[in-house]
Copies of this chain bind each other. A is one copy, B any other.
Amino acid sequence: MRRVPRCGMLSPLLALAALLQAAPAAPPPAATPADPVEADWVTIPDDEILVFTLMGNRRVVIRLAPQIAPVHVGNMRKLALSHWWDGGSVYRLQDNYVAQWGDATEKKPLPPGLADPVPAEYVRPGWSAVVELGRPDPYSAKAGFTAEGWPVATDGSNEWMTHCYGYVGVGRNLAPDTGNGAELYAVIGHGPRHLDRNIALVGRVIEGIEWLSSLPRGTGQLGFYEHEAQRVPIAAARLASDMPAAERPRFQYRAPGNDRFAAYVKARENRTPPFFDVPAGGADICNVPAPVRKAP
């Protein structure tokens, strides 16, 4: 009889199914206290959805965070409404770090009316998390989620959004420059939490991160593409509120202020059999992805 390797295609399908039980889109096999009820899903407003379409109809959908960085997001809305990003490009791909896009030529005039200078918006006073992680955070006093589903950390005085996979920040020059929202990056590697409190985070890629994360890595310093032909053109960038109603992508986030979400956090901190023998007893904030789904 021919021996069948025990660890091939079928094995991980079985084995890793456990990992996905709490994922946003995968229906759990049986109801658990960590499952959301229908009322937990909150529709994201159309003017908080920004759609970048890369050449080849590759759509990258960003949930904006006006709750966190209102002035930066205000600038981004103006840039989108003036179609400023159209014809721009993804011009930097640094492995295990960021994809970056905007105007690689550095010559395109900005539209009028942008806030300039932009306030830092890196932190805000207080601690508004409605659910907290169980274990200490190496980068802060504690971490959790706001009522709107944003991951945040605090030093006891201020709070700030955390640099996790897929989150979107604003490129800037040396401090105290704050950037203006025209040049953006998305995290495509291990969460670079050292950027927290040092750069403005403005949202999160909620669909299509793979169109950025799977691009060829740039071979120039810091992952910049060395040749213009390597850049990936941006066909268009539009706010959902600026698109025909029938074409608008509709997404919902899962509200964290309830026992079900708290159970979801605990489930991520303590993975269960049959795959897991030893639950970690904790997780870092970037390993507790805030669930998002397409509006049904």
Nearest CB in chain B to that of A192: its residue? B287
- Whether, in the assembled complex, A136 has its beta carbon less than 8 Å from a beta carbon of chain B, the answer is yes
- Whether, in the assembled complex, A55 has its beta carbon less than 8 Å from a beta carbon of chain B, the answer is no
Establish whether residues B174 and A275, one from each chain, have CB atoms under 8 Å apart when the complex forms: yes
- Whether, in the assembled complex, A106 has its beta carbon less than 8 Å from a beta carbon of chain B, the answer is yes
Cβ proximity bits A15-53 to B, threshold 8 Å, 1 near / 0 not: 111001000000000000000000000000000000000
Q: List 9 A-B contacts (CB under 8 A).
A: A4-B107, A7-B179, A7-B183, A13-B224, A133-B138, A176-B277, A189-B190, A193-B287, A214-B214
Pick from A95-103, A242-250, A255-263 the stretch touching chain B. Answer: A95-103
- Whether, in the assembled complex, A157 has its beta carbon less than 8 Å from a beta carbon of chain B, the answer is no
Interchain nearest-CB distance for A96 vs B (Å): 5
Q: Which residues of A does B touch, CB under 8 Å?
A: 2-17, 20, 91-93, 95-96, 100, 102-110, 122, 133, 135-140, 164-166, 170-177, 179-180, 182-183, 189-194, 196-198, 209-210, 213-217, 221-222, 224, 268, 271, 273-284, 286-287
Establish whether residues A8 and B92, one from each chain, have CB atoms under 8 Å apart when the complex forms: no
> Which residues of B sit under 8 angstroms from A92, Cβ to Cβ?
12
> Which residues of B sit under 8 angstroms from A198, Cβ to Cβ?
271, 275-278
Establish whether residues B12 and A194, one from each chain, have CB atoms under 8 Å apart when the complex forms: no
Interchain nearest-CB distance for A47 vs B (Å): 23
